[in-house]
Amino acid sequence: MTTLPPCQLTVRSFVDTDADGVSQLFRTVYGDCYVYPDVYLPSMIRRNNASHLWHSAVAEFGQQIVGHAVLWCDATAPDHAEFALNVVHPAARGHGIATQLAQYLCEHARQAGLSMLTIKEVSSHSQSQRLASKLGFQTTALMMDYVDSPFGNKYRESIVLGCLPIKPHPIPDVAWPAAWQSWLAPMIRQFGSGPAPVLEEVVPPLAITNTDHRCDVMLHKMCPTLVHEIACLPADWLIYLQLALSAQTPPMMLQLQQAGFSCAGLVPGPAQRWHALMIRGHHAHELDLRCPTARALLESEQAGARETALC
């Protein structure tokens, strides 16, 4: 591929005939190591767009697809989408293609009436962290050992979760522990704060699934009995626990911290709500974190682990 003249670049929405080029682009950049197998199947790329699970955008130079990104919709939170599957051909880098794709999809999200965009930034990939910062995403969580490495590394990748509000998304004003203020303060500046919601009755109040070597737990009801059951899950499992935020949530989080869980930040929930994220069973390893909030989350997690070890 020759050097890319910027004037010949087109950023547009995906059409079915782009699928083979998109799949080949992922093979060029990641070989056989990409974590989402759908990108290796052009038929799945077409199906995901036809079903509106994805809304893909491509960057085209001549007749070649040199960039791709997607808004990945969330069935559990239909007002959200994740900015994902962002990839640029090595010969086309340095022309702001990733930024153009992101801006194109952010505008689509606004026109579609979405309230929140998220992005998962691979901690070992500084470029994705720089892009998220440039686009105005605020770090809200550090997701340790989240996924197999797309770069072929032996260890699991940790993910920095960034959020970009399109509509107001205030963080509940609850009695947060003072030790968490270092990472909470930037989030509150970005999203604002508001009264803590009264939790609605959700059936079932507790849900648990296995996902990619993780045990994902969702707790909708701040019940001491349920919290105790979660604390007693096998200690060697990698557990991701989301707790619906209310005035009762911080005391339950401190109880879980005594059981080895660490607070990993906040994740957006449906209907402009927030959930606290707690993790247990991850492995400590060095992370290349460019965002001060992400570094504060890591330092908070490490401090919590030291306190638990002394108990």
State the amino acid at position 228 in one-letter form.
Answer: H
- pTM score, whole prediction: 0.89
* 137: DSSP letter: P
Q: Are 92 and 235 contained in the same domain?
A: no
Q: 302 and 248 share a domain? A: yes
Domain presence at residue 185 = no
Answer yes or no: is 174 within a domain: no
Task: State residue 271's pLDDT score.
Answer: 78
Q: Which of 129, 86, 121, 133 is nearest to 105 (CA)?
A: 86
Number of domains in the chain: 2
Q: Do 158 and 10 fall into the same domain?
A: yes
Residue-level pLDDT, tens digit, the chain, 311 residues: 545 555 588 999 999 999 999 999 999 999 988 888 999 999 999 999 999 999 999 999 988 999 999 999 988 888 899 999 999 999 998 889 999 999 999 999 999 999 999 999 988 777 888 889 988 999 999 999 988 776 666 778 899 999 999 999 999 999 998 889 999 999 999 999 999 887 777 778 999 999 778 999 999 988 899 999 999 999 999 999 999 998 889 999 999 999 999 999 999 987 788 999 999 999 877 788 888 999 999 988 887 666 665 55
Task: Tell whether 278 is covered by a domain.
Answer: yes
User: What residues does 160 pair with on adjacent strands?
Assistant: 121, 142
pLDDT for the residue 153: 67
Q: Which helix (H) or strand (E) holds 215?
A: strand 214-219
In-domain check, residue 97: yes
Assess whether 152 and 27 both reside in one domain. yes
* Judgement on whether residues 144 and 201 belong to the same structural domain of the protein: no
Q: Say if CB 104 and CB 98 are below 8 A apart.
A: no
pLDDT digits (tens, 9 = 90+) for 112-145: 999 999 999 988 777 888 889 988 999 999 999 9
In a domain, 237, yes or no: yes
Mark whether 41 and 127 lie in a shared domain. Answer: yes
Name the token pair of 43. Answer: 């038929």
Kindly give, in sequence order, each residue whose CB lies less than 8 Å from that of residue 208, ignoring residues fewer than 6 positions away: 215, 216, 217, 218
Residues 215 and 156 in one domain: no
What residues make up the domain containing 218?
193-310
Same domain, 138 and 58: yes
